[in-house]
Amino acid sequence: MKISNKNILFLFICLAPVFSMSILFLEFIEGRYFLFKENSIKFLNDNSYSIELTQDWVSIDELPKGAVQTLVSIEDSRFYNHNGFSLFDIHSALAQNFFLGKKLRGASTITQQLSRTLFLNREKTIKRKLQEIRISVALEKSLTKKEILEYYLNTVYWGKGFNGIYFASRYHYRKPPNELSLVEFEDLVQKLKRPDRSP
């Protein structure tokens, strides 16, 4: 059965507020969400475990001066003003999904990218996006912004089959992250947008 554009518009208008309210409701749920172990994180809500955490952990304080501001400006300019997700970006992605028939694109904050890296896959569906948001809200309640950025840098996929800035720095610059210049660090962060693109 073919669905008209008017029906799709009506469906989107009806679903958007419900979607928004369900996400906002998550922000007010209190409790313990994670069990942090030496080499993994357990999400207590569904007893799932994260990917294995690298032993070559890099402290955010080891990075060049200005690295944090550079990372946030490139990856998530509203990082310090949201609680893990952006309703505006999510609604925009839903609109493209409904009206243009595109798979859900982007709409991910740094915290959402961390949630996906730790616990989920890259499947672009509404169900997976809701799981991502649920975990992101819990991460924002459990970690400081600085800790979120540190987990992100040490776990996110940098291309060439490896995760974590330690390996990215060693591969691209043949030196550890604490020896990177700010320009080199910025170049690495730019690679996150398309990590497997050939130079």
Tell whether the model's pLDDT for residue 27 goes beyond 90: no
Q: How confident is the model at residue 29 (pLDDT cuts 50, 70, 90)?
A: low
Residue 40 lies in a domain: no
Number of continuous H segments (helices) and E segments (strands) in the chain: 8, 5
Looking up residue 88, the CATH number of its domain turns out to be: 1.10.3810.10
Q: What is the pTM of this model?
A: 0.79
Mean pLDDT rounded to a whole number for the chain = 83
Residue 118 lies in a domain: yes
Residue 36 lies in a domain: no
Query: 185: domain range?
Result: 5-29+58-191
List, for residues 188-198, the tens digit of each pLDDT value. Answer: 999 988 877 65
List, for residues 3-18, the tens digit of each pLDDT value. Answer: 555 555 555 556 555 5
How far, in Å, CA of 32 to CA of 174, rounded?
40
Q: Are 118 and 50 in contact (CB under 8 A)?
A: yes
Q: Which helix (H) or strand (E) holds 49?
A: strand 48-49
List, for residues 112-129, the tens digit of each pLDDT value. Answer: 999 999 999 877 777 888
List, for residues 79-95, the tens digit of each pLDDT value. Answer: 999 999 877 766 666 66
The predicted model gives 67-72 an average pLDDT of: 97
Residue 157 lies in a domain: yes
Domain count of the chain? Answer: 1
